[in-house]
Structure 1
Amino acid sequence: MAAFMSLHDAIAANLRDGDSVAMEGFTHLIPYAAGHEVIRQGQKDLTLIRMTPDIIYDQIVGMGQAKKLVFSWAGNPGVGSLHRVREEIEAGRLAIEEHSHAAMANAFEAGAANLPFAVFRGYKGVDLPKVNPNIRSVTCPYTGEVLATVPAVRPDVAIIHALKADREGNVMLEGIVGVQKEAVLAAKRSVVTVEEVVDEFGPRNANAVILPAWTVTAIAVVPGGAHPSYAQGYYKRDNAFYIGWDKIARDKAVFLKWMEENVLSKGPEAFAAHARRVAMAAE
């Protein structure tokens, strides 16, 4: 059952050196505050899993905490490369396992269903299987069709940001959702940061996802915890941050100075304050 904890305690209790961790969110509800707490605590030798790693993984990789990246697209969305990730890959310090979006989505679903691998139609006429030995195939015993397979994604820890939790520990997210639900269900342990705790969820969108309390290990209340991504109904995406990150990340010394001033020396309350400033500037 979900336990309400501080963000520090939630990460400390659930993430260990050498773990595989999936920090999911598709443009929306990216768990930046939780990622920054991981950086402050300094867990090492992490295998980072995510369909679309962006700035938060650039930061974790740049701080030397990752040994491998499992992904289907990596970049600073709408801007360009992840310079810290690219440098580590080119230097041979970061192993990579690249998939298609379809493969990653199916792999998360297989993990959530406690299956050993995912089967799907894909990887036809492409070269990715030549460089990723985990992309294989199986012949359907009923039709003879050759189908693609990939190992299920079963992280040690899933970390997501959601909109609300109720007082019983159930969690709600809505708007653009990715594979947050599947990541939590596939993982051994999960940490969810939320904007607020409510007595009841009330009216919600048709695509709302409810994670029952029994699927979640820890919940931390962190207003603004998705910034610079956005939380539907709470604050908008901070596009200027993504643009500005390109210059910060290009130079390792500039990057390390920024991380010291903006992450290592601050706590999760900084997210709430910054989200309020961004919201006021947009009004």
Structure 2
Amino acid sequence: MTKLTTLKQAVADFVKDGDIVYAAGFTHLIPFAAGHEIIRQGRKNLILARATPDLIYDQMVAAGCAKKVIFSYMGNPGVGSLRIVRSALEKGELEWEEYSHFGMITRLQAGAAGLPFLPMNQTGATDLEKSNPQIKRIPDPYGGKDVIVVPALNPDVAIVHVQRADKNGNAHLWGIIGEQKEAAFAAKKVILTAEEIVDESVIRSDPNRTMIPANIVDAVCHVPFASHPSYSQGYYDRDNEFYLAWDKISESQDSVKAYLDEWVFGVKDREEYWQKLGAEKREQLKVVSALSEPVNYGKY
């Protein structure tokens, strides 16, 4: 049995209007290809959850996919604001819930554990408690100071990009690890996109790198270069020029529409997108090998 399918089919099967969608990844392995496919398929009224929305949610909000965002930090990393999401929030066109980083991860951990909520230590972010009624204080049943509690987050679908996976969904990822594992275990459905599809023996050769197991994955999609303009450690670099360019593009509705028309609606899939970037950009994003030392797991 195989869970291999196209990204187009996976989105059609598992992402529905009104769903809570969690596109995971932190700094790298951000699933832009899946975000673009959701835009192409015209999904509406989505609740977009993500610890760090990044450009992927700016683009999805611009395309009219979202009715709400749930987040802990929002910005164009290293550049400035997410102009489109911020503008929609300020105009009252987009609902929102804000948490601390640890609050978002705690919500996912509660969801993954099947708990209704989890406690956390008090923080200095007391203004969040005032603006978000989901953040509550309860007495410590053992007599200590009050604790903060946040409700479980169980996305309808989590989308996770990885470096390699087998056809059943056992997946390796390495480099900067974000909330991929927590989001996947908390979600009702999981779409996995991968730079490479490898034999199960490759996954089994390094079990400690298997962050996502097959039993929680619903669809496996071979989508090389799926995280551009972010990066996939060991495969291609971050496109810093695009993050700067998006800051200018997002200044006007006309330039945003032109971008979406050309780079999302104007290409049929990620392969066509990658080729459209051009040979010079592809060469610029190449990385040289920097292999780790091998790990000896031994044999009996």
TM-score range, shorter chain: over 0.9
Superposed displacement of residue 124, structure 1: 4.1
Secondary structure of 2:53 counterpart: coil
Superposed displacement of residue 167, structure 1: 3.4
Secondary structure of 2:74 counterpart: coil
Of 2-11 and 178-187, deviating more is: 2-11
Of 168-177 and 15-24, deviating more is: 168-177
1:62 aligns to 2:65 (yes or no) = no
> What does residue 290 of structure 2 align with?
none
Change (3 A) 1:275 1:20: farther
Secondary structure of 2:264 counterpart: helix
Superposed displacement of residue 272, structure 1: 4.0
Q: Deviations over 1:38-82 (max 9, x none)?
A: 000011000000000010100000111111100000010000111
1:24 aligns to 2:24 (yes or no) = yes
Equivalent residue runs for 1:36-47 within 5 Å: 36-47=36-47
1:110 aligns to 2:110 (yes or no) = yes
> What does residue 281 of structure 2 align with?
278
> What does residue 156 of structure 1 align with?
156
Segments of structure 1 that go 5 or more residues without pairing to the other structure are: none
Superposed displacement of residue 245, structure 1: 0.4
Aligned partners of 1:3, 1:167: CA distance in 2, in Å? 6
Change (3 A) 1:48 1:261: same
- RMSD between aligned residues: 1.9
> What does residue 259 of structure 1 align with?
260
- What TM-score, normalized by structure 2, do the two folds share? 0.89
Q: Deviations over 1:95-135 (max 9, x none)?
A: 11000001011111111111111211033462111111111
Answer whether contact 2:167 2:220 (CA < 8 A) is retained.
Answer: no
Segments of structure 2 that go 5 or more residues without pairing to the other structure are: 287-300
Aligned partners of 2:36, 2:188: CA distance in 1, in Å? 21
Answer whether contact 2:10 2:191 (CA < 8 A) is retained.
Answer: yes
Moved over 4 A (4+): 202-206
Equivalent residue runs for 1:1-283 within 5 Å: 3-124=3-124, 126-199=126-199, 200-201=202-203, 208-266=209-267, 267-273=269-275, 274=277, 277-282=280-285
Answer whether contact 2:71 2:97 (CA < 8 A) is retained.
Answer: yes
Q: Percent identity?
A: 46
Larger radius of gyration: 2
Aligned partners of 2:83, 2:125: CA distance in 1, in Å? 30
Answer whether contact 2:170 2:210 (CA < 8 A) is retained.
Answer: no
Aligned partners of 1:16, 1:275: CA distance in 2, in Å? 33
Superposed displacement of residue 270, structure 1: 3.1
Superposed displacement of residue 210, structure 1: 2.6
Of 265-274 and 208-217, deviating more is: 265-274
